[in-house]
Chain A
């Protein structure tokens, strides 16, 4: 079976899944899709976030750190949320939050650096991949649209946009004032032989500078400023909301929160991290609704890997394999996607993955951005094609 026919079959199978299809617009508008990526740095402990409270194995694997049953915010008869996540649980109850279970990839790598690089670029333990997973897709998406930027990261960790030059901006985009960007280019003529790489560099700079100027202008011309919490994640998401409310057309924002690498005494630390996550997300959702873009927005978490199902000797958890992640937005069809973590069939105390994270990438690109033909089409998973 050739690649082409397989793709044809697949696009026939399902162009809509969790979302209604997006009409392709010639110009970017406030109804264009917005994706907000939240990196949970250090690897979040999924089992203590979305808790299989009805499974006794959960309690026997984690005698020291399990969340006690009465404290779990139960949302189904087998799964519940950590008690810090009451805001997110409310969004779930409204049917706007989905939890994708057991995400992972074959031949798991348990090094923070290498594994986050895989999640950023769409590789796995067998093959590395080149550019950031969104780069090619966003270059395509931007084609024919008038975007203020293709993507913007606010946390100094731009690895996810590796290889993206023109239109991929970092935190300095909102730190610069237009005056500082003034330059002497006008005084220097372009060389007669405008060479490939030099031309690319000049174009990128020129275009990024223009974009940054526009971003600055739009922000300073906007009356609404969000500033809803003191933590680092809250600050980053406030900036995001301010930019969206200023009418900026940027399809992807990336922010992060650390540090989830809870090898020792994890209970309190994890509780506090989840509380910060919950506060920031809840505030963001409220802001997106207020701005009127909630229906076009998708918030998604990701992490380098999961954590071990069994607790370690220091009341913490070690690096693991599969992990759940959340997706929420006005058009998300809520619920748990995929099977409940199987705590009785562990690989070295590890949950095994059963949804390739790249199937999620494919789903996001296809459903949220309308790009059924995308670099991750080969990983398409029918688990996302729910009625």
Chain B
């Protein structure tokens, strides 16, 4: 009987997919799948006038003030919680919310973001040339600054939200190592953390870090990658159960054009990839991303998913009551989804303040480690910012590498599988013997960037002395050349040019393929192939005479080159565009120089063909100078500056300096003295919810007490 039932289900599924396929074909790759109107949610609506908030008139004593700061900020520094003592709960909330609204972000963006050109677009070439780029240094410099910002923050409620959203719009750096895209992701997160949730959601669809992480850059309307659309509905906006597969598929087609420029890693809106057909969401139609958002915010469940997240973050684990949820969603909605208002509503819930709601939240590793360091103004000597991020990594909160798109673990997951033991060990590692430890000064680190300065000075001179008609390039890498070049149907060499100057213009990067199809149809003979978005700025003004690449949907222009039958896609290009393509092929001369490209020695067929092309296109001098010049090679260690480098040193930052603590941070003994002067024991400061009879000298006993894991 089960078998029967199972095959019935299979039949149903088959029927459903056959139906879907039919609709798909009918809409010629763009028609809308059917969607359903969501059920009304009267349970999420209450009259705001019925909210009783008299409990907010209670005046706060010191324990209440410490408890409050621990829950809204990161740890409980003295100067932070003292401000609440004697105020009513309402006044304390108002203070915290107005600070949040007025927060000016002091995050110091590392200089490499503007000063360097990303290398991700020539990742393969770098790998094949065995160039060490240590791209993890990008991540570490951002992590050190994020860490630093938490430590010195005077608006920790902002940092709490920034972390919450970093988790919500989860992107793992190490998956793709795209430093510039990731920095922009962090920028978007920080910019919207205290802003409007709907604007935040809109920005998330244009976030290059999110786009790369969820592979939306390869999506097209005809073959949409549903990853981003699915996560957007499931994990960013509505939560499971509030949408159907049709909503996902339609949205995927509408946002298929949300891609990136592969060189700069910046957002790129590629209209040719997006559907122009009307789509449907939640039973209604829309014809643009903005149109989709109008429907989204009207969805009766919109806001619920985020409200639950705030409740679990600030109030308690588990589900809020129906009334609590209704209050949060109604206030959030009434404020047009203003994030500070949602926080205000959360902190105003009676349960947030209730006696029986103490020690009901489990601290995240960041809360545990950074909160302790902030409260105690201390970290054991020798430590630096990265040391602290490493300590939280070991507790399963890897700052920029959440385990998956759903973000870090949460709630009870933080203490399962004996993590509790690791957490207590970590507290000992970092905070033991603070009163006797002599803080190590982080000054005195020599930053030797002489080589880097010399390299950059030389590079400036190199570009300054080049003739406009010369193609001057910092370095060229071969991303790919087959070893059996010449024996295939299509024989390509895939090149990337890093940092280019030509005809008074600068290009961050140019990618191009040259090859031949003489073994197969011989339609082009020798050809060049150029993809939109793989150069910056694009080397052709238009790609509209090309077609869509079937792998990633980018527009491609392919034409016979240097000569052949299929030249019509090239003949309309400007003389400058034509000259540029010629110069790019003339670079074969440099690549073929002995000892330059290891890869070429393994591709005899490739070398032979490149030489033949070079013979055809020539290498006649421009005003007595070679037509193509290269500052450093990527393949050998030749002079003057040796091999191309993109390691941390070249980028001009020194992690040891960036990750150092600011000197005045080490003052645990001052903290102890100040607390003693106000008759505040460390036991009360660290666990205000309990009355532990432990003296200040035994502060590690407080830190390693189970209750300290909670708040």
Contacts and interface: CB of A to CB of B under 8 A. Distances in A.
Contacts of B709: 201
B600 interface: no
B103 interface: no
Contacts of B405: 111, 113-114
B706 A202 contact: yes
Interface in A197-238: 197-198, 201-202, 204-205, 208
A195 B359 contact: yes
A117 B405 CA distance: 12
Contacts of A176: 421
Interface residues of A, number: 40
Contacts of B707: 191, 198
B354 interface: no
Contacts of A189: 693
B420 A195 contact: no
A161 B422 CA distance: 17
A172 B421 contact: yes
Contact of B416 (A113, A168, A184): A168
Nearest to A191: B690
Contacts of B667: none
Contacts of A188: 692-694, 701, 705
Contact of A382 (B3, B415, B694, B710): B3
B701 A204 contact: no
A87 B707 CA distance: 51
A205 B420 contact: yes
Interface string A177-200: 000000110011101000111100
Contact of A204 (B404, B420, B693): B420
Nearest to A173: B418
Given A184-B704, A187-B701, A202-B706, A165 B691 contact: no
Contact of A380 (B2, B416, B705): B2
Interface centre among A168, A176, A191 (most CB of B within 10 A): A191
Given A188-B692, A188-B694, A198 B706 contact: yes
B706 A161 contact: no
Contacts of A187: 701
Contacts of A163: 412-413, 416
Interface string A115-145: 0010000000001100000000000000000
A335 interface: no
A165 B693 CA distance: 28
A326 to B, nearest CB: 24
A197 B360 contact: yes
Contacts of B706: 198, 201-202, 205
A204 B362 CA distance: 14
A368 to B, nearest CB: 21
A195 B6 CA distance: 47
A158 B416 CA distance: 9
Nearest to B3: A382
Contact of B415 (A117, A128, A165): A165
A184 B703 CA distance: 12
B418 A172 contact: yes
A373 interface: no
A163 B416 CA distance: 6
B379 to A, nearest CB: 22
Contacts of A292: none
B356 to A, nearest CB: 8
Nearest to B707: A198
A153 interface: yes
Given A168-B416, A208-B418, A191 B710 contact: no
Nearest to B420: A205
A161 B710 contact: no
Interface in A154-175: 158, 161-165, 168-170, 172-173
A63 interface: no
A114 B360 CA distance: 29
A163 B411 CA distance: 10
Interface in A339-367: none
Contacts of B362: 197
A205 B704 CA distance: 12
B84 to A, nearest CB: 23
A153 B404 contact: no
B105 to A, nearest CB: 31
A164 to B, nearest CB: 6
Interface string B1-45: 111001000000100000000000000000000000000000000
Contacts of B419: 170
Contacts of A161: 416-417
Nearest to B694: A188
Nearest to B356: A195
A55 interface: no
Given A188-B694, A197-B359, A153 B417 contact: yes
A201 B701 contact: no
Interface string A294-337: 00000000000000000000000000000000000000000000
A381 B2 contact: yes
A252 B266 CA distance: 48
B240 interface: yes
A198 B710 contact: yes
A111 B175 CA distance: 12
Contacts of A165: 412, 415-416
Interface in B380-427: 403-405, 412-413, 415-422
A170 B403 CA distance: 18
Nearest to A209: B421
B358 A195 contact: yes
A10 B420 CA distance: 41
A184 B707 CA distance: 14
A106 interface: yes
A381 B2 CA distance: 7
Interface in B619-636: none
A272 B32 CA distance: 48
A162 B416 contact: yes
Nearest to A180: B425
A196 B316 CA distance: 12
A382 B701 CA distance: 57
B299 to A, nearest CB: 20
A111 B404 CA distance: 9
A376 B359 CA distance: 35
A169 B2 CA distance: 37
A225 to B, nearest CB: 23
Contact of B418 (A114, A128, A169, A191): A169
Contacts of A117: 404
A170 B394 CA distance: 14
Contact of A184 (B404, B691, B701): B701
Given A172-B422, A188-B705, A382-B2, A201 B415 contact: yes
A378 B422 CA distance: 38
A203 to B, nearest CB: 10
B403 A201 contact: no
Nearest to B317: A197
Contacts of B1: 9
A119 B81 CA distance: 46
Interface string B357-380: 011101000000000000000000
Interface string B667-708: 000000000000000000000001111100000010011110
Contacts of B420: 201, 204-205
A205 B425 CA distance: 13
B313 to A, nearest CB: 16
Contacts of B317: 197
Nearest to B409: A162
A178 B705 CA distance: 19
Given A111-B405, A197-B360, 4 more contacts: A106-B13, A162-B413, A198-B359, A198-B707
22 contacts: A10-B2, A114-B405, A117-B404, A163-B412, A164-B416, A164-B417, A168-B416, A172-B418, A172-B421, A172-B422, A176-B421, A183-B704, A189-B693, A191-B707, A196-B360, A197-B362, A197-B710, A198-B359, A201-B420, A201-B706, A201-B710, A382-B3
Q: Which 6 A-B pairs have the closest CB atoms?
A: A113-B404, A158-B417, A170-B417, A201-B706, A191-B690, A170-B418
